Amino acid sequence: MLPIYYINMANRPDRRAFMERQLASMGLACIRIEAVTEADISQEDADRYCNSDRPTFLRRRELGCTLSHERAWQAMLDNGAPAALVLEDDAEVSHLLPAFLDEAEAIDADLIRIETTGAWVRVYPIASRGESGVAVRGFRSTPMGTAGYVIKAEAARRLIGHRGLRERQTDLALYNPFEEPGRSLKRVLTDPALCRQLGAGADAGRSDIAHDVVPHAYARKHPVSHAVLRLQRYLKRGVRNLIDDLAQRGRLERRIIPYAQE
């Protein structure tokens, strides 16, 4: 079975206990990955990627998220595993997960998203269905969230340190079908989904990461240029999406991927 890594902050022992308890109840062993915090980010990286004086930038917590996932990928490579399941520490996982993990390595994909957020996703017809009953589909949307996915080792080697992961949030970089590195990845998702983030009402679901609203200095100093850049990006995305919708017509359907309940 594939190794399982979960990302956890040292100040959240409650989430550590939650993850290890729920996985152990399914007979699954897991390995904790210490999350990268804002304080861990070097000044050099902060100046390069988190500089709000630039037209686009990452907030430190966003870069920390990416670096945390890269730690998990590197652990997989260091252990010589061909693939691994990566989870965040607020992921509720389905009872179908153990059976699916027995099948995951054989699936022809770089990245297998097992998460659902309840949002609409443009998906292709079912590509395969294993004995677990879990199907996989290609998808053409950019879903939010990186609470759970299987990643192959070769994909991890290409992704670690990729510039695209320093310019956009982790999920936007991995799942965007139009820009690198997502464009070069063969990405599928499970149907039904095998994990979802805990609701804020659950103790372990409570987040203590401050959603910092860092003022965008470039927007304040160069309001006209910023407005023009935003309009250009909006128009580019609109034209690109329209062309893609026409090219993919008849091949895709919009679905909300359900979570596999007990």
pLDDT digits (tens, 9 = 90+) for 217-228: 889 899 999 899
Assess if residue 226 is contained within a domain: no
Has residue 240 got a pLDDT over 60? Answer: yes
Q: State the residue range of the domain holding 180.
A: 4-215+252-256
Assess if residue 247 is contained within a domain: no
Q: How confident is the model at residue 207 (pLDDT cuts 50, 70, 90)?
A: low
Has residue 185 got a pLDDT over 60? Answer: yes
Has residue 235 got a pLDDT over 90? Answer: yes
If one counts the domains in the chain, the total is 1
Question: What was the pLDDT predicted at 215?
Answer: 86
Residue 44 belongs to a domain with what CATH number? Answer: 3.90.550
Between 214 and 131, where is the model more confident?
131
Assess if residue 44 is contained within a domain: yes
Q: How confident is the model at residue 52 (pLDDT cuts 50, 70, 90)?
A: very high
DSSP class per residue in 84-124: EEEEETTEEE-TTHHHHHHHHTTSS-SEEE-B--S-EEEEE
Assess if residue 45 is contained within a domain: yes
The percentage of the chain sitting over the pLDDT mark of 70, rounded to a whole number, equals 95
Q: Which residues pair with 255 in a beta bridge?
A: 121
Assess if residue 106 is contained within a domain: yes
Distance from chain centroid for Cα 153: 16
Question: What was the pLDDT predicted at 261?
Answer: 82
Q: How confident is the model at residue 211 (pLDDT cuts 50, 70, 90)?
A: low
Assess if residue 234 is contained within a domain: no
Assess if residue 91 is contained within a domain: yes
Assess if residue 59 is contained within a domain: yes
